[in-house]
Structure 1
């Protein structure tokens, strides 16, 4: 492994996609018009920085920890 991290965070409700965060582009993708409201708010509040940190650091550290438990 070269240590690079790829990923996304996806949210849905009632079995349908709602919004996702794409790490590669550091952007939110709204699945429909209703999710556009959330996308705009999260972009205004700079939520992408938090999701980027989670996907690049917190999540991989947790995976390494739990994989080590076997």
Structure 2
């Protein structure tokens, strides 16, 4: 349970930092929601199938960055 809460916190922080530095231009809340959603999905995929990049913190950071790369570029024209 603690790693799930930590995953959400790290994912939200990655979304905030990516927007604050200018890496994304989605807005603070959408970037944080995208990151938390990506981390949430990867957390449960990892729990079900044993997929992992290392520690839960590294999983949260990499899945959040992956979600930020995939989601916004898919909908932009």
* TM-score, normalising length: structure 1: 0.41
Which of the pair has more CA radius of gyration? 1
RCO (CA 8 Å, sep 6+): is it higher in 1 or 2?
A: 2
The structure whose residues are more often helix, as a share, is 2
Greater strand share, structure number: 1
